[in-house]
Chain A
Amino acid sequence: MGILIGSIMDVAFPHSAVSPTLEGDVLVVLAGTTRPLTGREVARLARRGTQPAVAAALNRLVHQGLVHREEIGSSFLHTLNRDHLAAPAVLVLAGLRTELLERLRAAVGSWEVQPLSAALFGSAARGDGDADSDIDVLVVRPPQVDEDDERWRTQMARLAEDVHAWTGNHASLIEVAEQDLPDLLDARPPVLDSLRTDAIPLTGVPPARLVPDREPA
């Protein structure tokens, strides 16, 4: 496995930046459970790759000792060998999306001027995009903070740079002033649906409460 410097994060399969083959997908599935899984179950949970291709990947991983295989009745069951030297690296790869969220929360949490709300939304929150997807972040500016406030602008710019450095993806920061939220509700842009259903709160008021789904009076 080699780290591809400057690679872009596939928001659906973040581990692909380091392990782009089906072996990476299989390992991430096995890292998610201690339950022994059949090849068919692994293929279903991996979300991509045919069953024969997943079986071939499992064969290679069993050969390398990173996956244990045991025959139970007529089934072959697979588990991640958590004692393997490479297992810690697999667990890190399996947790990349969680790591992105933790970094976003830490970054926004350290801001001198706190937002009313910040949330990850869109495909990065749903985990269904690809390597070309933006990392969408909603940031709601409190009413007492001016749009041109230098501290506010600096921290927004730094967040965009950090997200790009962490993932290789473009950070799309959607900034809304608290006083403009009613206009957003009236305009009902498509982004509202994602904010209501998929957004992952980073700090402050959760988006589902800021932009409730109700018909205008």
Chain B
Amino acid sequence: VSPRKSSRTSACGEREARVRLADARAQLQLAELAGGESAPAEIKAAVSSAVLAGMAASDAACCKALGRTNRSQNHRDAVELLGQVAPGGADAAKQLERLLSLKDESQYGFTNLTGPKLQQAIRRAKALVAHAEEVVRR
């Protein structure tokens, strides 16, 4: 057992986990509305929704399993916290890390995102939502 780092977290539990899981599902549905024919701005908005879905799913899993969720702006802290959920946290954390790498690009970026990037983001968000569903119903 190593000492815990002082990353910013806040206490939460089963009720918050269910709320964030519902948020994650809703964001994922929004992300899936965009298709191959969508305008670049729509694809970007959809990627942003996929990222938000992944973040909400991560909160849900952490609230249920750890009783805490990340409140730091540092993505690495969120990834590390999700990695502590068992089982499945390590794989979910990898998905979240890759999804978060699209956050700035989709929300503040000046360049367009491609359809394949959106499909990849949706796949990662789906994996995170599935993991959170499993943790929350455990």
Contacts and interface: CB of A to CB of B under 8 A. Distances in A.
B64 to A, nearest CB: 7
A101 B65 CA distance: 19
Given A33-B85, A34-B86, A79 B134 contact: no
Contact of B67 (A37, A68, A79): A37
Nearest to A71: B1
Interface string B30-64: 00000000000000000000000000000000001
Given A98-B138, A200-B137, A32 B4 contact: no
A37 B85 CA distance: 12
B66 A33 contact: yes
Nearest to B11: A44
Contacts of B68: 41
Contact of A77 (B4, B13, B64, B133): B4
Contacts, number: 59
B137 A33 contact: no
B84 interface: yes
Interface in A35-83: 35-37, 41, 44-45, 47, 68, 70, 72-73, 77, 79
Interface string A74-112: 000101000000000001001101100100000000000
Contacts of B67: 37, 41, 44-45
A180 to B, nearest CB: 27
B33 to A, nearest CB: 15
Contact of A32 (B3, B13, B138): B138
Interface size class of B (residues with CB under 8 A): 20 to 34
A97 B138 contact: yes
Contacts of B84: 33-35
A68 B2 CA distance: 12
B73 to A, nearest CB: 20
A96 to B, nearest CB: 9
Interface residues of A, number: 26
B119 to A, nearest CB: 21
A77 B86 CA distance: 17
Contact of A68 (B1, B14, B85, B86): B1
Given A44-B13, A47-B14, A36 B1 contact: yes
Given A33-B66, A44-B67, 17 more contacts: A31-B86, A32-B85, A32-B86, A35-B4, A35-B66, A36-B4, A37-B66, A41-B67, A41-B68, A44-B13, A45-B67, A70-B1, A73-B3, A94-B138, A95-B138, A101-B137, A127-B137
Interface of B: 1, 3-4, 11, 13-14, 64-68, 81, 83-87, 89, 133-135, 137-138
Interface of A: 31-37, 41, 44-45, 47, 68, 70, 72-73, 77, 79, 91, 94-95, 97-98, 101, 125, 127, 200
